[in-house]
Amino acid sequence: MANKAIDLFKEIKSPDSIILTFLFNACAQIKTNEALNILKKVSKQLPEGFYSDSRLITSLFDALIKCGDCSSAEILFSKMIKSVTSYGNLMNGFVKENSPYKTLKLFNQMKIDNIKADMITYLCVIKALSQIGDYSISQSTIEQIPNNFLGDYRVQTALIDMWVS
């Protein structure tokens, strides 16, 4: 029904933040170039006050990543209130676009911003390390993962995949 939501959006003259959030979520579901073009067009026309709506901006951020535009998402990220979820989403986007060094840079920035990593963060970091394939970088980064995460089967599986790759 995401396509129908976009069609309905086109009929609305002055959408509010709720309607825009629905639009961004529909675009995130579709993940096409057309959806990305709609996101870019609408985001350029957003009134400045809408940028203080964290739900709206998070929806736009998520949609940009899911539509494959991590560059625009990264710019928006620099203006957002940071959270472990926003870091994880952007890291996941970088992993998908095969930009492992950006993922690791974001992981290091996360520590500087004093935001505690979660399971998703560590899985993204392990995937990035797998893409890099450098033992010394991998070893020093893996040593930063707390033991309670190392005991999780998902992290263990990701590490096995990394070492085998």
**83-99: average pLDDT:** 95
* Other C-beta atoms lying within 10 Å of the C-beta of residue 117: 20
41 and 112 belong to one structural domain = no
**116-137: average pLDDT:** 92
75 and 115 belong to one structural domain = no
**Of 45, 80, 115, the domain-final residue:** 80
pTM over 0.75: yes
**Of 80, 105, 122, the domain-final residue:** 80
pLDDT digits (tens, 9 = 90+) for 134-156: 888 888 889 999 999 999 999 99
86 and 49 belong to one structural domain = no
Compute the distance between CA of residue 92 and CA of residue 131 in angstroms, rounded to an integer.
Answer: 13
Predicted pLDDT at 6:
84
Tell me the CA distances in angstroms from 48 to 2, 25, 43, 44, one per residue in order.
26, 20, 10, 10
Predicted pLDDT at 128:
95
Determine the 3-state secondary structure of 143 from DSSP.
coil
Structural domain tally of the chain? 2
